[in-house]
Structure 1
Amino acid sequence: MALNPPAPADGSARPAVIDVLIVDDDPLVRVGLSMLLGGAPDIRVVAETGDGAEALAMVRRHEPHVVLMDVRMPVMDGIAATEALRARSGAPEVLVLTTFDADEYVVRALRAGAAGFVLKDTPPAEIVAAIRQVAGGRPVLSPAVLQLLIDRVVTTPDHGRRRSAADSRLALLNPREQAVAVGIGQGKSNAEIGRALHLGVPTVKTHVSNILAKLGLNNRVQVALLVHDAGKLDDLG
């Protein structure tokens, strides 16, 4: 008998069965992922394809909750496809498939609206956990990616200009919203932010919604990137 899927750590809702679209130009990768995910009782692979352009049509047809998106593909790459998907109303979450030698694309994918990334050689249980996490509204940002983001912010030639632009955007938020945004940038869950700021989780969720609306962003990862750009990671107690 199948076990019930574990509840999200921060109490956020996710579908009882998570519909997943696999997008990768390597047929062997698609087959392997389909077999892997087929063993999870709360995950259902609804379709698969080998290019980003076809993924857009498949999302309209199948309405998946999560898209596993490769980066390097013909016709339309994963970054362009992610941007197009995340610009839509009711967009699915996008979990990027990458390799260590594709780190240069990770930040671009996250800025495009991806909820996180998984390496293609990630252990199966961790891939399943990552899908459950993004389906529940939680980004997948490993310490390695956080360090990558920090390094990019510090070493890019336009660091000063990017920091100034990020500061100006964060100034649109009130002080409490800015504090919540910093917590998001630190990778904290809603419950962890609430404890740090002495707020209830529903109040934190309201602040997160307001932050996304005011900044014109569509997920927590983009908020985290903005906080990184502004150099405000140490502002939350």
Structure 2
Amino acid sequence: MPSMPGVGTHPDLPTTFVHFTGRPRSSGDAPPDFANGTPEERMVRILIEGQLRATKVFGASHPVLCFTEPSEIARRVMLRDGVTQRGPYAPWGLIFDRARLIAAEATPVLHMSAQEMRLTADLPVRSRNRRIRYEPGRSDWLHEREWRICFGPEDEPSLHLTPDLLVGVIVGEQGWMPPPVVTVIKDYTENKIIEIPRASGRPVRVRAQLRVQQTNFRYSAAADQLVRWWWNGEDIVEDGVFDVQTQMSPDGSSIVSSTKTRISY
């Protein structure tokens, strides 16, 4: 497959990180309330909000954001077969520039033995929440190649999606586009007299009630110009670029008017 964006300084490491919105979960491991829905719906919500919201994970006292640093081979395995008995990851995710994410304070998690976990229990919150228990055969999460941004009690637990930080998305459908947010600006009715043509004779004049709706379609600005990578079942292939701006009016919206007619005799 073509390489992901960027040029790395480590020949054996990717130049991007991925935040999957559909990691496999065990029973009882439910997503937070703000992340309900399918992996596709979660990614749409992130793109519309323009931010990635942090949440608490097992063992962490405060919210964290989790990312994976998979090689090209690892990405294929994660999406096709999975790396645990939980099964494969859903092919929906956000791709982040490595250097920019590190500048946003992402660092690798710390895999520690049970004894090391006890000895470091009094670390500051952010450092403490980077720790993951490592016990081969019982607790081993090395395959996730995880990095985290950790938040303290005084922090806003979210990451703003800027164009230089978010560089692409992985989708499970070729040509996929994030749907717009639709709001009705005006919704009213008008009474009019209209003529209905007949096959013979003069047309019939009737009183009609017309319903007019003016609707605002606002597309996700965070998705504009993002490179789309499609998982075709075997590999991740480049699948064009989101061109959101062409669908928007100058004020950042797209307005469509429609009429619905009810004829009353």
After TM superposition, is the score higher than 0.5?
A: no
TM-score (norm. length: structure 2)? 0.23
Larger radius of gyration: 2
Return the TM-score normalized by structure 1. Answer: 0.25
Greater strand proportion = 2
| Between structures 1 and 2, the one with greater helix share | 1
